[in-house]
Amino acid sequence: MQQISATEQALTSRIDAAAMLAQVQAWCAINTGTGNLHGLAQQCDVLAECFAALPGTVRRVDPSPVTAIAADGHEAETANGAHLVLSVRPEAPRRYLLTGHMDTVFAPAHPFQALTWLDPETLNGPGVADMKGGIAVILAALTAFETSPVAPSVGYDVMLNSDEETGSLASSTLIAELARGKVAALTYEPSALPDGTLAGDRPGSGNYSAIIAGRSAHAGRNPQDGRNAILAAADLALRLKALEEPGLSVNPARIDGGSANNVVPDHAVLRFNVRPRLPDQAQRFIAALHEAMRVIEKLHDVAIHLHGGVSRPPKPLTPEATALFGLVRQCGDALGQQIRWQASGGVCDGNNIAACGVPVVDTMGVRGGAIHSDQEFLIVPSLAERAALSALVLHRLSGGN
């Protein structure tokens, strides 16, 4: 194990594990499902007050406009909450970006709303790991880092967005703006595995809706006059699935449309997700998608309008990112924490940050698991562990011992 200096020991010993746990418990009592604007606003107010204790400026940023396709094929604007940004020493020549998200996947009507202790070290509850525990880690780590003698020479931005769970479409512009000029970034998704393993390279992700317009007709009297949009949607789904290859997955997820059984359906919406591991796979898929649409339009005599795209670019491990992972492992070793990483099939805001050319480690949050389910859990001792890890990473990244 590497040595930790007296300065670093003093830095990490300031972390208050009990206060962090109390924050997580209080924050998880506020429902912040992505569409719950009231809950998100309440959470934003609470977090703004907490982060105001750091030596910077806290501001709220309105969400960018986002549209979605309804079941009937019409495009409508979606409602998203404001994002929270803390800027510390914006004039510093060396600056970092730390990101997290306020929203969870659990809407107010979801039955999973309460906290339950599974054992003395494991807390079950909505958002405990993904990622209200991660936000507590950011706040504690930065509070400790501000006592470092090197902290005054660097600056950073913290962004907590309100729509990460639905793809960060309303915050992607903000992420790109804040990533500009940063030398490194840390994102506080929970660890990839409960043992603390980090997520390394990630695929990209794109969500699409194909709106198909056919022509209705009586299914018994004159079906030949109709143009079956459901059939065209199904044909397109099969053709897209056939495009899969190693490193590229396609998931046709849902078909909306149709009406009575005796009517040839004149409209359908095919929704699908694509996950390319490499940038060139994303480009090739887009070209193949448009060719498949052209074939379907001609074969079924329908019109297709496409909505969506690849909003999370693939995140390969660059040499710069590998070096940042190495520093995290070095700091973990100094603290007695074994750090390793592996490829992940998931995506997050780390994809967007990496696409801006900034090295990022995007699973610096708590140890836990079963996220996006009512089994979600937080390993409570990891709150202080991960805060100490981040504080030490920031200290050494800034030229500390």
Provide the mean pLDDT of the chain.
97
| 253 phi/psi in degrees, rounded to 5 | -105, -30
CATH of 6-202+315-397, one of 3.40.50.300, 1.20.120.790, 3.40.50.720, 3.40.630.10: 3.40.630.10
- Say if CB 21 and CB 380 are below 8 A apart: yes
- Computed on alpha carbons and rounded to an integer, the radius of gyration of the chain in Å comes to 23
Q: Do strands 205-213 and 184-187 pair parallel, antiparallel, or not at all (unpaired)?
A: unpaired
Judge whether residue 169 has pLDDT over 70. Answer: yes
Judge whether residue 38 has pLDDT over 70. Answer: yes
- What proportion of the chain, given as a percentage, has pLDDT over 70? 99
Predicted confidence (pLDDT) per residue in 105-140, tens digit: 999 999 999 999 999 999 999 999 999 999 999 999
DSSP state letters, 152-173:
GG-EEEEEEES-GGGTSTTTHH
- Position 324: which residue type? L
CB atoms within 10 A of CB 218: 12
| pLDDT at res. 3 | 81
| pLDDT at res. 213 | 98
Judge whether residue 1 has pLDDT over 90. Answer: no
Average pLDDT over residues 55-73: 97
| pLDDT at res. 46 | 98
- Say if CB 143 and CB 13 are below 8 A apart: no
Predicted confidence (pLDDT) per residue in 204-215, tens digit: 999 999 999 999
User: Residue 217 half-sphere exposure, CB side, CA atoms within 13 Å?
Assistant: 13
Judge whether residue 217 has pLDDT over 90. Answer: yes
- Total residue length of the chain: 401
CB atoms within 10 A of CB 360: 28
CATH 3.40.630.10 domain residues, the chain: 6-202+315-397
Average pLDDT over residues 166-189: 98
CATH annotation of 205-312: 3.30.70.360
pLDDT band per the 50, 70, 90 thresholds, residue 2: low
pTM higher than 0.85 for the full model? yes
- What proportion of the chain, given as a percentage, has pLDDT over 90? 99
